Amino acid sequence: MAPPLGLVKRLLLRSGSLSHTLTRSAFIARKPDHNKPNWGKVGLTFGTAAALWVLLFKQHNEDVMEYERRREEREKHDACTGCS
């Protein structure tokens, strides 16, 4: 049977080896410096946005072409059935 989790934590905290890793935060909270922007993140953000817009327009054009092809197909089919 495995020992209870609370017992394991207490033993690890008593040894001192894990006390800093369990109590110290991995994140540092600081206010953003608006005078010195992170140009890497700015470029990545705008580049991603531009790429998504390009993909959106490309997909839209493909959808319009598919719509027009199906509409012409339907008109041909309707014209042929109307003749007979």
Tens-place pLDDT, residues 5-58: 677 667 666 655 555 555 566 677 888 788 999 999 999 999 999 999 999 999
Tell me the pTM. Answer: 0.54
What number of residues does the chain have? Answer: 84
Helices (H) and strands (E) in the chain, counts: 3, 0
Report the Cα–Cα distance between both ends of the chain, in Å, rounded.
83
Q: Which amino acid is residue 54, in one-letter code?
A: V
Token reading at 36: 């010195």
